[in-house]
């Protein structure tokens, strides 16, 4: 599948982040990178913990990095990269956190070996519970 160059750039940044994942327990390293409307890229990797439950996924690390940089909405795309024979699939918690900030987000799923799939957060999390239910 041929993707626009911007998506491949985002995948490259996510792959670099993946190299910095801390995943000694699962050995399942994930990298993520978010491109904002201002064309800035914020990346993250999964960070595990010996107590297991404190683990944070790559997607949420990237989201929190974007937010901490002051970019809190209308992100263009997120790329998620693993090194496996099948594509990654963001967990439910990450889908909900991403939807808080960018329910229309483009989601680019990739493997180090070259598998690619483009979808949207709206497709991954239909009928999402969004801030407009409470913020009015």
CB atoms within 10 A of CB 122: 14
Specify the length of the chain in residues.
136
DSSP 56: B
Reduced DSSP (H G I as helix, E B as strand, rest coil) percent helix, strand, coil of the chain, to 5: 30, 20, 45
59 carries an active-site annotation: yes
77-82 and 31-35 strand pairing: antiparallel
26 binds ligand THU (CB under 6 A): yes
49 binds ligand THU (CB under 6 A): no
28 binds ligand THU (CB under 6 A): yes
CB atoms within 10 A of CB 118: 15
57 binds ligand THU (CB under 6 A): yes
DSSP class per residue in 73-91: S---EEEEEE-SSS-----
55 binds ligand THU (CB under 6 A): yes
Q: Least distance to ligand THU from the beta carbon of 100, Å?
A: 17
Binding to ligand THU in span 83-112, by CB under 6 A: 88, 90-91, 94
Per CB under 6 A, the list member of 48, 66, 79, 121 interacting with ligand THU is 48
Per CB under 6 A, residues contacting ligand THU are: 23, 26, 28, 30, 46, 48, 55, 57-59, 88, 90-91, 94
Active-site residues: which are they? 59
């Amino acid at each position: 599948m041929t993707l626009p160059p911007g998506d491949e750039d985002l995948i490259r940044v996510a792959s670099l982040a993946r190299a910095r994942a801390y995943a000694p327990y699962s050995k399942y390293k994930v990298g993520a990178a978010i491109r904002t409307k201002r064309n800035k890229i914020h990346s993250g990797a999964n960070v595990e913990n010996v107590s297991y439950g404190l683990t944070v996924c790559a997607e949420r690390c990237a989201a929190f990095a974007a937010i901490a940089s002051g970019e809190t909405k209308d992100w263009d795309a997120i790329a998620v990269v693993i090194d496996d024979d099948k594509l990654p699939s963001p967990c439910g918690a990450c889908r909900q956190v991403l939807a808080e900030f960018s329910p229309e987000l483009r989601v680019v799923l990739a493997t180090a070996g070259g598998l690619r799939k483009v979808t949207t957060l709206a497709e991954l999390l239909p009928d999402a519970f969004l801030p407009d239910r409470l913020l009015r």
